[in-house]
Chain A
């Protein structure tokens, strides 16, 4: 079996490293209670304080007194081995499909697509994530932007689908009261 592509990225906290992995590698998100093999042992020993899964990363925090330069190689080997057994990762709390969807959507909004929207004053927040349907609110400069629909479908939805292939639909709700806004000239189809 081939090795899962991964690489470490530093975080603001020197004890914490994000190990970037492809989306969909692990069927869980959130705090991990049990991990397979060596990684599990490290989690129960003094080495690793916490282990959390994001949509595209495993975030590992080392105990104080342990350093990444010393323990890094061992953690890498353990993580690499553990990623081969995705079914043996046990979350601390039960993870539903809705949780996975919400996490994936959050990952999209935290990533480059979110950066792009924020770069020109747009705001996107999660309204709901349920039963393979997700809904966001596009506010700020997005409100009157004729390209908002394009961003929603071509960037957000496609990136979300890459992280959560079972997605049925990503919708945007407009802010109440602004739905019936008038404009003298519009190129946007009202029904869209």
Chain B
């Protein structure tokens, strides 16, 4: 879900420019990827593309610039993403260069509706080529369509492209070379709505179009999956199973990576004589960055499952089920789609709010989106859940860790919706709710290539993040944790044997600059049970949530380089009223989990919010309210768990 995030469309000039226009989920992005060889995120899920996106297609030695536009049902825009399309095709708009030609993707199974959009696109007077998609599905579902009759009736070229067929694609590619040869309609379609309906009707008649019956397979599955009671139960059961799998399947993999890093740590302590270098390698790199890297299996698994749910078409059903609940609270279905996108990362979620017609609803949804559990939280959750409950604890037949994780995701989602609702309440006085149109795509087998792409790009993004921001912050934290240097004399006077390296590094950490900073903000977090080390982690996680894991990993590795996980479990308060007591008590761990659930510790999210709203006001509001909420909820959790323990 993250391929479109943060990328700004660049405009390449001087070449033939083609725009891809079509209804949502008509296969634009799949076609775009096939033409350009790029890997834009695709899904069986309307609204995957919300921004303009450009790529270059090479055809017989020539380069053609192809621009993927967001899906739209008409050129009379009601939301910002539809405005993007209308602007891009408007020759009078000076800001955006008008394309030289337009490829209109039309889903053969929803021809009637698609032709309405096509009529509008044909009014632009630009050369047009229709790309007919999903013809294989039309045939499978018993529909008929005479493509040559359709071509004759439209007066523009029509090319049928079946996903994955090289022949079809080659035919389309050969057409891209000569736009001037594209047939133009003899008389453009009418603008008057009733005349346009008559035009569409006549085309369908001429092309012998038989409306495909709803896929029988889809209908049968939907009878259960969209059922108000069973459907909802199945949805929650699916999500529940999802988190069980994250723990049961990923755990052995994670252990394997962990033991690799552990043995690396041992190697470093044994073979690197320089204490500074060995500290850097052992604590910062292996303990810190390695501590984050062990979560790669979980990230891969999360995206495997999301892309399977998405590619099969189930995510649209989930949105539909949730829309019932959300509508009762006066929230739009589109808002839920945006929230759903935030499961991977809040950034595409915030971008997806562009599909919301009302600005107020957009801001309200943007305020809620960062509360959805993103993949960065996953690492923190897995680490802390591991400290909170042992892998052997079971709730009935289920692993307790998975249950805790499910609860965290559930609470995150409910809080996000509640927040959006609250912001909507306060910002608008209940204007009319615009109709929400979300297609239920037929169930399709997820394409292995799309699934692999999704996992690959997620893992790549994760590694990228680990290699840059997390590494950078970890190094800074390592410096703060290791400085100032202590002379042997100082160590001896403090009662530390300078030869015992573990004792020295533990002493250095406890008397570092980082400790000073951590102690300085102790008054804020002491009521939540956090000590200075957690404070430093929380502070560091402001840059990216995973840094928290890296910080704890560093501190633990400094204490016990061979068994950092062990060290973490038995970590105690080093000073203050609780000195010597276990640090990660259930109360503190639960409070930390809740704190991470609510706090907005992500600079990228803040940056995107600033860009999408055009001011610092909304990001400031979001950061403020989320911090207060996080602190309050964590305090309540700490108190409640502390009392019950």
Contacts and interface: CB of A to CB of B under 8 A. Distances in A.
Interface in B184-222: 185-190, 194-195, 197-199, 201-203, 205-206, 208
Contacts of A7: 153, 189, 199, 202-203, 206
A9 B195 contact: no
A165 interface: no
Interface in A31-51: none
Given A9-B186, A73-B187, A3 B155 contact: no
A76 B190 contact: yes
A76 to B, nearest CB: 6
A8 interface: yes
Interface stretch (A15-23, A94-102, A131-139, A176-184): A15-23
A80 interface: yes
B198 to A, nearest CB: 4
Contact of B195 (A17, A80, A112): A80
Contacts of B202: 5-7, 20-22
Contacts of A72: 186-188
Nearest to A10: B186
Given A5-B201, A17-B187, A76 B152 contact: no
Nearest to B149: A112
B198 A3 contact: yes
B153 A20 contact: yes
Contacts of A168: none
Contacts of B205: 5, 22
Given A22-B205, A76-B187, A76-B190, A5 B155 contact: no
Contacts of A154: none
B255 interface: no
Given A6-B202, A9-B155, A20-B153, A76 B186 contact: no
A20 B190 contact: no
A4 B152 CA distance: 19
A68 B153 contact: no
A82 to B, nearest CB: 14
A2 interface: yes
A75 B195 CA distance: 13
Interface in A57-81: 68-69, 72-73, 75-76, 80
B575 interface: no
A112 B153 contact: no
Contact of B198 (A5, A8, A75): A5
A137 to B, nearest CB: 27
* Interface residue range, chain A: 20 to 34
A6 B186 contact: no
Nearest to A4: B198
B187 A3 contact: no
Nearest to B189: A7
A13 to B, nearest CB: 11
A5 B153 CA distance: 13
B153 A6 contact: no
B187 A2 contact: no
A4 to B, nearest CB: 6
A21 B199 CA distance: 10
A139 to B, nearest CB: 27
A6 B198 contact: yes
B179 to A, nearest CB: 18
Interface residues of B, number: 23
Main secondary structure of the interface of A (DSSP, over half): mixed
Interface string B441-455: 000000000000000
B199 A17 contact: no
B187 A5 contact: no
A184 to B, nearest CB: 39
Nearest to B202: A5
Contacts of A69: 187
A9 B199 CA distance: 12
A99 B593 CA distance: 85
Given A2-B194, A3-B198, A80-B195, A9 B188 contact: no
Contacts of A10: 155, 183, 186
B146 interface: yes
B194 A3 contact: yes
Q: By CB atoms of chain B within 10 A, which of A10, A73, A75 has the most? A: A10
Nearest to A80: B195
Contact of A8 (B149, B187, B208): B187
A72 B445 CA distance: 46
Given A2-B194, A3-B197, A4-B198, A20 B206 contact: yes
Contacts of B199: 5-7
A9 B205 CA distance: 14
Contacts of B194: 2-3
Nearest to A3: B198
A8 B195 contact: no
Interface in B259-297: none
Contacts of A76: 187, 190, 195
Contacts of A3: 194-195, 197-198
A80 to B, nearest CB: 6
A115 B202 CA distance: 21
A22 B185 CA distance: 20
A15 to B, nearest CB: 11
B201 A9 contact: no
Contact of B186 (A4, A5, A68, A80): A68
A122 B269 CA distance: 90
A75 B189 CA distance: 12
Contacts of B152: 9
Query: Which one of A4, A6, A75 has the highest number of Cβ atoms from chain B below 10 Å of its Cβ?
Result: A6
A101 B197 CA distance: 30
Contacts of A5: 198-199, 201-202, 205
Contacts of A22: 202, 205
Contacts of B206: 7, 20
A2 B206 CA distance: 19
Nearest to B125: A69
Contacts of B201: 5
Contacts of A20: 153, 202, 206
Contacts of B187: 8, 17, 68-69, 72-73, 75-76
Nearest to B198: A3
Contacts of A2: 194, 198
Contacts of B183: 10
A72 B199 CA distance: 14
- The winner among B146, B188, B194, B202 for most chain A CB atoms within 10 A is B202
A20 B186 CA distance: 13
A80 B205 CA distance: 17
Contacts of B197: 3
A22 B206 CA distance: 9
A119 to B, nearest CB: 13
A20 B155 CA distance: 13
A112 B207 CA distance: 11
7 contacts: A4-B198, A7-B189, A10-B155, A17-B187, A20-B202, A22-B205, A68-B186
Q: What 6 A-B pairs have minimum CB-CB distances, sorted nearest first?
A: A72-B187, A5-B202, A5-B201, A3-B198, A10-B186, A7-B202
Given A68-B187, A76-B195, 5 more contacts: A9-B153, A17-B186, A20-B202, A68-B186, A76-B187
